[in-house]
């Protein structure tokens, strides 16, 4: 049974950084391509990027190119997404998601709420 | 770069059929596969359709997907609507140019 378990909610001040974790169980992280998707309150899904093992690095959406870093720790099967220079518009639920069985995002974490407020 | 445009909301009665469209702004809709996700309030999204028209095991055959080259759009059709189908639905595809994945803006389905 594959599970993605994310870290708990965070409250950050504008300008700070946040690092969200996503621990994989039931599978080996290095065999997966972990994606990060966010959803602002009452808004739609927004793809942020993914770690692409086939290309040996991360692909980021242009909007986040200079502020996001996606990394992985194979020793703990944990993926991380760090977003810097936070602003109020970054308040959102952040999901990790990955294709496992299907060629689609068929497994999702439970989401991590990041609130940016002064 | 392209965008995927969905209607903001649709509504239909139980037992009826509804179709949600997803129009690609540039490039052919057939260039990259389209997936459809269902998201109920307070829950993570789940895959309803992948590779344009394939249904994961466990998804009722009331759900079907298709693409239409003439309108450059993908569609999710739900037949025999049930109140439990009330949710937000998102299409998703891939941009070869920048290797980005992207979602449509989402459609709120109301079954009343």
Predicted confidence at residue A55, as pLDDT, reads: 73
The per-residue DSSP string of B1-66 comes to ---EE--SEEEE-TTS-EEEEEEESSS-GGGS--EEEEE-TTS--EEEEBTTTB--TTS-TTEEEE
User: Average pLDDT in the B78-96 region?
Assistant: 97
A86 has a chain B CB within 8 A of its CB: no
- Is B103 in contact with A59 (Cβ distance < 8 A)? no
Q: For residue range A26-81, what is the model confidence (pLDDT) as tens digits?
A: 999 989 999 999 999 999 999 999 987 777 789 999 999 999 999 999 999 999 99
- Is B47 in contact with A47 (Cβ distance < 8 A)? no
A73 CA: distance to closest CA in chain B (Å): 23
Predicted confidence at residue A110, as pLDDT, reads: 98
Residues B93, B107: Cα–Cα separation, whole Å: 16
Q: For residue range A83-105, what is the model confidence (pLDDT) as tens digits?
A: 999 999 999 999 999 999 999 99
B8 has a chain A CB within 8 A of its CB: no
A41 has a chain B CB within 8 A of its CB: no
A103 has a chain B CB within 8 A of its CB: yes
Q: For residue range A5-28, what is the model confidence (pLDDT) as tens digits?
A: 999 999 999 999 999 999 999 999
Predicted confidence at residue B9, as pLDDT, reads: 98
- Is A47 in contact with B45 (Cβ distance < 8 A)? no
A59 has a chain B CB within 8 A of its CB: yes
Q: Which two tokens stand for residue A84?
A: 């810097």
Closest CA to A36 of B33, B85, B101: B101
Q: For residue range B28-57, what is the model confidence (pLDDT) as tens digits?
A: 999 999 999 999 999 999 999 999 999 999
- Is B106 in contact with A45 (Cβ distance < 8 A)? yes
Predicted confidence at residue B1, as pLDDT, reads: 87
């Amino acid at each position: 049974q594959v599970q993605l378990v994310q870290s708990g909610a965070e409250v950050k001040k504008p300008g700070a950084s946040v690092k969200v974790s996503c621990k994989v169980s039931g599978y080996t992280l290095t065999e997966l391509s972990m994606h990060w998707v966010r959803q602002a309150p009452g808004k739609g899904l927004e793809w942020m990027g993914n770690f692409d093992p086939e290309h040996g690095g991360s692909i980021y959406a242009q909007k986040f190119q200079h502020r996001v870093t996606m990394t992985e720790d194979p020793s703990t099967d944990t993926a991380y997404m760090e977003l810097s220079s936070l602003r109020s518009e970054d308040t959102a639920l952040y999901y990790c998601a990955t294709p496992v069985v299907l060629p689609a995002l068929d497994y999702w974490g439970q989401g991590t709420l990041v609130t940016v407020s002064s | 770069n392209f965008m995927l445009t969905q209607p903001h909301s649709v509504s239909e009665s139980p037992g009826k059929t509804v179709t949600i469209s997803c129009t690609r702004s540039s490039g052919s809709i057939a260039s990259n596969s389209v997936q459809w996700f269902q998201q109920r309030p307070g829950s993570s999204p789940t895959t309803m359709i992948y590779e344009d028209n394939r249904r994961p095991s466990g998804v009722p055959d009331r759900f079907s997907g298709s693409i239409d080259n003439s309108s450059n759009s993908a569609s999710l059709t739900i037949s025999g609507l049930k109140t439990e189908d009330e949710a937000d639905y998102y299409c998703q595809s891939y941009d070869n140019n920048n290797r980005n994945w992207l979602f449509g803006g989402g459609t709120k389905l109301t079954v009343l």
